[in-house]
């Protein structure tokens, strides 16, 4: 469900998927991954909480916005390709300013650092709730390099709603007949 109100849009993102089999990741398929240790060569051991919002996310909570940016650039690629994730994963590095505000930097699988990631913002708030950093039913402002989103996770993790600005970016026409198939 998507609702437009002026220059803002609200999107119902559905319920998060939390089991390892749904993310997907290795380990006991019927279990959740909450504050689990992850080892990256040359780095201190950190913890991740994993959530799928239709795509996989591994969230690490850090002590500052600067640390989030630094780790996204330096550790993000290794988390993306870690053996825990057979189909790779997005890596989120989050600094919780308060129970209602988070700074977030995302290393997106296959793309690298990104200015914004709606599913990553949603997954991060879910992970913050699972780890006791935020509360269900309360809007959380997520500050990404490209702008802010408001995320509300409904009670019992029944649904996640994302609210933010919508802007027309460009118009284009594509001649589908002129496209070449991708080599396999």
Cis peptide before 24 (omega within 30 of 0): yes
Burial class (CB in 10 A: 0-12, 13-18, 19+), 171: exposed
The answer to the question of residue 159 being in a domain is yes
Question: Is the residue at 156 inside a domain?
Answer: yes
d(CA 2, CA 14): 11
Whether residue 127 lies inside any domain: the answer is yes
Closest by Cα among 126, 86, 93, 124 to 107: 93
DSSP 27: S
Q: What is the mean pLDDT of residues 97-107?
A: 98
Confidence of residue 146 (pLDDT cuts 50, 70, 90): very high
User: How many independent structural domains does the chain possess?
Assistant: 1
Asked whether residue 112 is assigned to any structural domain, the reply reads yes
Does 117 reside within a domain? yes
Query: Percent of the chain at pLDDT above 70?
Result: 98
Any idea what the CATH number is for the domain that residue 118 is in?
3.10.310.10
Q: Which helix (H) or strand (E) holds 11?
A: strand 8-14
pLDDT at 179: 83
Measured CA to CA, the distance from residue 128 to residue 123 in angstroms comes to 9
Q: Against a cut of 0.85, is the pTM above it? A: yes
Whether 101 is covered by a domain: the verdict is yes
Q: State which residues form the domain around 30.
A: 2-164
Contact criterion met (CB below 8 Å) for 85 and 58: yes
Residue 64 has pLDDT above 80, yes or no: yes
The verdict on residue 178 lying in a domain is: no
Asked if the structure places residue 19 within a domain, the reply is yes
Contact assessment for residue 157 and residue 136, using Cβ atoms and an 8 Å cutoff: yes
106 and 99 Cβ atoms separated by less than 8 Å: no
* Average pLDDT over the chain, rounded to an integer: 94
């Amino acid at each position: 469900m998507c609702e437009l109100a002026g220059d803002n849009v609200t999107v119902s993102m559905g319920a998060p998927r939390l089991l390892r089999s749904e993310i997907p990741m290795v380990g006991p398929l019927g279990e959740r991954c909450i504050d689990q240790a992850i080892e990256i060569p040359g780095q201190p051991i950190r913890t991740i909480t994993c959530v799928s919002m239709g795509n996989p996310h591994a969230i690490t909570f850090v002590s500052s916005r600067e640390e989030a940016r630094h780790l996204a650039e330096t550790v993000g690629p290794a988390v993306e390709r870690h053996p825990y994730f057979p189909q790779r994963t997005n890596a989120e590095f989050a600094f919780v300013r308060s129970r209602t505000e988070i700074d977030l930097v995302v290393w997106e699988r296959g793309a690298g650092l990104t200015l914004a990631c709606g599913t990553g913002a949603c997954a991060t708030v879910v992970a913050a709730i699972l780890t006791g950093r935020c509360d269900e039913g309360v809007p959380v402002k997520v500050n990404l390099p490209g702008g802010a989103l408001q995320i509300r996770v409904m009670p019992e993790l029944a649904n996640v709603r994302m609210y933010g600005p919508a802007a027309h970016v460009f118009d284009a026409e594509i001649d589908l007949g002129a496209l070449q198939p991708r080599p396999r």
